[in-house]
Amino acid sequence: MENLWASWRSDFVLGEKEDYCIFCKRGREKKRQKDLILYYGDYSFVIINLYPYNPGHLMVVPYRHLKNIENLTPEEHSEMIKLMVLSVRILKKKFKPHGINLGMNLGAVAGAGIEYHLHYHIVPRFTGDTNFLPVIGETKLQSVDINIIRNALKPEFDRYMKKS
């Protein structure tokens, strides 16, 4: 068996942890200008991952603090799926990825870095985005600054917000 290492996430895994839920805190602070949140829905929001696997790595997060997917209401789950589809549409338009991973890690053993507040991941994939640098150099090359990503995506989400 081969191992796939994601050592660029070591700052997140080994770093100091907040003693509050980062998603609950971000979901309540709807007026922040420099935040990574791209869209506020009725039941959930879209946020840029601060520790991305790739540029444009987004997450759809319910406002309610839930660990188990089976506790989502039909309305919450429906909106989260709609926001995932919207996120995919916008990522394809703005960044033209060669593929996209969608998913949810439920529980620490399933890969959840934040296991106490469930969330969907939307990860754009590009040919050659996996290479030797994270494994040998213990470095993940982030080719696009997170503020550039936000500035490219936010207007698209704002346009959608005006339509709905």
**Active centre residues (catalytic):** 119
Number of neighbours of residue 30 by Cβ within 10 angstroms: 10
Q: CA angle 129-34-119, nearest 5°?
A: 55
Distance, in Å, from the CA atom of 122 to the CA atom of 59, rounded to the nearest integer, reads 6
Cβ neighbours of residue 7 closer than 8 Å, sequence gap 6 or more: 134, 135, 138, 140
Nearest C-alpha neighbor of 159 from the set 103, 94, 96:
94
Helix, strand, or coil (residue 20): coil
Task: State the residue for tokens 């996430």.
Answer: 9
Tell me the Ramachandran region of residue 56: left when phi exceeds 0, alpha when psi lies from -120 to 50, beta otherwise: left
The C-alpha angle with vertex 37 and arms to 34 and 41, in degrees rounded to 5, equals: 140
